[in-house]
Each structure stands twice: as structure tokens, then as C-alpha cells.
Amino acid sequence: MGKMRTQSVRWRAAAVLASVLLVGGVAACGNSDTGGGGGTKDDGKITMGFSQVGAESGWRTANTISIKEAATAAGIELKFDDAQQKQENQIKAIRNYIQQKVDVIAFSPVVESGWDTVLKEAKDAGIPVILTDRSVDSADKSLYKTFLGSDFVKEGKLAGEWLVEQKKTASGPVNIVELQGSTGAAPANDRKKGFAEAIAANPNLKVIASQTGDFTRAGGKQVMEQFLKANKQIDVLFAHNDDMGLGALEAITAAGKVPGKDITIITIDAVKDGMQALADGKFNFIAECSPLLGPQLMDLAKKVKAGETVPARIETEETTFTTEQAKEALPNRKY
């Protein structure tokens, strides 16, 4: 099992590398879409303006590193902006990139709604946009070229299905508290939805409290403290990411309860600290969400710049982990 996983990860890495090399070659020989008439006005060098959500979690840190490293490896000049979890900062950054006439704009939208105007501005300026990690709810799909990222509904479902299986013999109510991600963010909306759909299979499973912890450790700790104060019996915590779960561990321990035993803990992401908590038995289950989107993003940028059509949706490959699987995977975990 461990070997097969490692092999498939290696195979995937090799495939990504091969496609990067291949596309790199194509882009280098192809016409520039700005030169016209087969001219080679530019030297094939691509400038990407990237607007990142923030630095709220271990996932985000790993994602930022992946994007910066992949840009360097692909020979793409990267302009990078950290929006500190604020949509207005992202809009500002995107407008700057439009003014600077970058070749491609990529961004991970902090929330789903409210992007039409700025996306239209990019389109009118002839600058292609790639959505990465999180998507937008714009009805006009021509406002962006593609969306590269995870299926967040599926992640929530996998988390819920595991719980349904664990509690299938429960004869009475199972009280669940939920730590939601940032309000309005696609992964918060979708993980909530997927989880709710899955646990509907057993009417004993009830979400008795659900609040945002903003995807941060501090948020997770603070909201879990409130949950513990307000609710006598909490059987399960579902946290929309590892960081909030890690923050909640402190609150649970401080309340004199044993995480992973008195309260079953399910999270999403599978970053190193989360995997360690799972291996230690403090978490019980993690649905993986891969932050290593950099190489595929650069590959897409080259294709889009070369005028190639790309799939409208590219889904990240992911898995799930139990304590045993976390112990096995941890030594090779990259982030």
C-alpha cells in the first residue's frame, strides 16, 4: 500500500514534469499571441501576476512555496501579492496586473462572489485569467480560462462518509460541532455541503453548532472554546482544515477532554502538522487537499499564452488518511 502510493506519487510527478517540458517546447516554437503575423515580438518569456489569498494556514504556506518554486522552474516571471484574506486587496492586485500588462493573471479567490467586474476588465484588456485552488460563482464562464483545484464537495463528503461508517452502530444521537472555513469561501461552502449530504444517511448524526474559525489556528481555538462552553455533550468535531483542528486541540485539552477519544476529530488538508496529530491519535481522519498546484498552474499558463485550449476544469487528485495510513505516509510528506 505504502509502496503503491509512493510509486503513484512518483509517476504523477514524472508525468507533470514531462508535460511541463513538452509544453515549454511548444511555447518556445509557437507564435506569440501578441506579435501577430507570425512575428516573434517577445522572447517567449511569460509574466504571471498572482494574487494569493493570504498566509492563514499550513496549506496556504505550502501552496505559496509550490507556486514560487514552479514559476522559477518553468522560467516564468512571477509577480506575487498576498491579499491578507481580503477581497478588496485581491481586486487591487488584479487591477495592478492589468495595468502592468502581464501575460497571465492567476488567483485564488478569497470568496466566491463579486468578481465579475474585475474579471471583465481583465478580459477586455486581453489578459487571460486562470483560477487556482478556489473558484468564483460568475455565471459568465468566458471570464476565465480554467479552474485548477480540488473538489471541495467531495472532500466534505469523504469526511462525512467516514463518520457514517464509524457511527453506524450508534443507538442514540451523535453530537457534531463544525468549524467552518472563511465565510463565503468556496471550500467553506462546499465542504459544509458535502459533509451535510453524507451524514444525512444517518439521522442520529446531528450538527449541533457550526461557526467560522476563518481557517486559522487562533480561530479554531477560540470557537471551539465557545462550543465547549455552550454544549455539554460534543461527540465529534468536523473542522474544514487542519489548522482549525489543531487550534481546537488546545481548547479540548484545556477543557479536560482527550482529543481523538472523548471527541472524534475529522479535518481536511493533510498538511504535516495535521498528519502528525492524526498519527498521534489526536485526530481520527483527514480528507486530503493538495496544495501542490504550482507545476500544473505554470503548465496551464504556458498553454494559455500559446493560444491552446485548455480544459475548463482540472481537478486535483486526492486521498484520505486514517491514523495507520498517516503513520505510514508521514516520513515522505513534503508539506
Binding site for ligand GYE (CB under 6 A): 56-57, 59-60, 133-134, 187, 215, 241, 243, 268-269, 289
Q: What are the beta bridge partners of residue 210?
A: 178
- Rounded Cα gap, residues 79 and 72, in angstroms: 12
Phi-psi region of 2 (alpha: psi -120 to 50; beta: other; left: phi over 0): alpha
Cβ-based nearer residue to ligand GYE, 42 or 81 = 81
Cβ-based nearer residue to ligand GYE, 32 or 85 = 85
Q: Which cell is 78 given?
A: 512571477
- Rounded Cα gap, residues 217 and 6, in angstroms: 30
- Tell me how far, at minimum, the Cβ of 220 lies from ligand GYE, in Å: 11
Which residues are CB-neighbours of 40 under 8 A, at least 6 positions away? 31, 32
- Tell me how far, at minimum, the Cβ of 104 lies from ligand GYE, in Å: 20
Cβ-based nearer residue to ligand GYE, 111 or 306 = 111
Distances (CA, A) of 326 to 62, 253, 268, 278, 323: 18, 22, 13, 6, 5
- Tell me how far, at minimum, the Cβ of 56 lies from ligand GYE, in Å: 5
Amino acid type, 35: G
- Tell me how far, at minimum, the Cβ of 270 lies from ligand GYE, in Å: 10
Cβ-based nearer residue to ligand GYE, 292 or 301 = 292
Cβ-based nearer residue to ligand GYE, 59 or 227 = 59
Sheet holding 129-132, edge to edge: 77-82, 47-52, 104-107, 129-132, 146-149, 313-315
- Tell me how far, at minimum, the Cβ of 63 lies from ligand GYE, in Å: 7
Cβ-based nearer residue to ligand GYE, 134 or 157 = 134
- Tell me how far, at minimum, the Cβ of 146 lies from ligand GYE, in Å: 17
H/E stretch holding 180? strand 174-180
Residue 255, class by beta-carbon neighbours within 10 Å (0-12 exposed, 13-18 middle, 19+ buried)? middle
Cβ-based nearer residue to ligand GYE, 159 or 268 = 268
- Tell me how far, at minimum, the Cβ of 52 lies from ligand GYE, in Å: 11
H/E stretch holding 171? none
